[in-house]
Amino acid sequence: MHGISRCVAMVGLLFGVCAGNAATAAEKITHSFLATGVETVLVDDAGKVTWRYPHGSRDGWVLADGHILLALTKNREYPGGAAVEVTREGKTVFAFKGSQSEVNTVQPLDNGNILLTEAGAKPRLLEVNREGKIVVEVALQAQTKDHHLQTRMARKLANGNYLVPQLLDKVVREYTPKGKIVWEVKTPHWPFTAIRLDNGNTLINCTLGNLAIEVNPKGETVWKLSNDDLPGKPINDACGAQRLPNGNTVITSHHATAKQVKLLEVTRDKKIVWTYTDDKKSGIHHFQILDTNGKALAGRPLR
């Protein structure tokens, strides 16, 4: 099976009849999306790659003008990783070179700045302006014995604070711009994605735990999804996540290889209504769902 799958839930080992929210057996769900990882690509709703960037990436966003903002995996040109903005023609219009081991997060901010994190001996979260000047620097209280497993998808919140998943520490922390920790929750495995939802809860993906949990402000788990809930156990390294406007959750399986499920969309009652697979050996690190059935998603992506 190549490209976008049929809208189905899973029966037996693989697929069956579609169920959940507004989906019916006769209905087909499609999505186009940006995928980051070993390959950085845009994929249309038929599963066709429509754009490709020649470097691996960790995180990324499609901007309103069509440009792509990426956190680049370290390479010869960027040995400490980087945050870059590129046009569809591949021209770089902004670049901030990482100064330590890795750049693992990038986020476009409403004030025009760009948020990123640096992993290394001095793990930190930065806001930089379009001239590349650091305007906010937050020292992160993370372990330093394994730089790669310090942080992942940090995000700026509406209240001005920053939500930071800290993998090897097994904790998600909320930092103020002055570096004070004002909220935290311990996680059952390495947290990769932490999304503050509109209702105040936080959706967290735990990588090798193959697990997604939603916790309330008290840190209590109010929703949980694991392979035990899904026929065929399709989750394989639950890295990136996105909560869609309809309340469904999309999860990537970073360790999925050719012909395995790499993205899956589940309803609140844990029914699979969409999957994506392809023939590539590499998985998807994180992603941004751009539309559903050709209609662009409204509002700020929760990812």
All structural domains of the chain with their residue ranges:
3-296
110: region left, alpha or beta (phi > 0 left; psi from -120 to 50 alpha):
alpha
pLDDT at residue 22 greater than cutoff 50: no
Structure confidence at residue 27 (pLDDT): 72
Alpha helix (H) residue ranges in the chain: none
pLDDT at residue 218 greater than cutoff 80: yes
Task: Tell me which residue of 95, 69, 91 sits closest to 82, measured CA to CA.
Answer: 95
* CA 247 and chain centroid, separation: 16
Taking residue 271's Cβ as centre, other Cβ atoms within 10 Å add up to 20
Amino acid letter at 163?
L
26 pLDDT band, cuts 50/70/90, is very low
Topology of the domain covering 3-296: Methylamine Dehydrogenase; Chain H (2.130.10)
pLDDT at residue 8 greater than cutoff 50: no
Alpha-carbon distance of 138 to 162, in angstroms, equals 9
Amino acid letter at 238?
A
Question: What are the pLDDT digits (tens) for 269-286?
Answer: 999 999 999 999 999 999
Structure confidence at residue 299 (pLDDT): 84
Alpha-carbon distance of 236 to 255, in angstroms, equals 6
Compute CA distances 59 → 36, 85, 117, whole Å: 6, 12, 11
* CA 196 and chain centroid, separation: 13
Structure confidence at residue 82 (pLDDT): 98
DSSP for 45-96? TTS-EEEEESS-EEEEEE-TTS-EEEEEPP-SS-TT-EEEEE-TT--EEEEE
Eight-class DSSP state of 157: -
Question: What are the pLDDT digits (tens) for 193-209?
Answer: 999 999 999 999 999 99
Question: What are the pLDDT digits (tens) for 221-278?
Answer: 999 999 999 999 999 999 999 999 999 999 999 999 999 999 999 999 999 999 999 9
Evaluate whether 250 touches 273 at the Cβ level (below 8 Å): no
Question: What are the pLDDT digits (tens) for 137-180?
Answer: 999 999 999 999 999 999 999 999 999 999 999 999 999 999 99
6 pLDDT band, cuts 50/70/90, is very low
298 pLDDT band, cuts 50/70/90, is confident
pLDDT at residue 18 greater than cutoff 50: no
Taking residue 166's Cβ as centre, other Cβ atoms within 10 Å add up to 24
3-state SS assignment for residue 3: strand
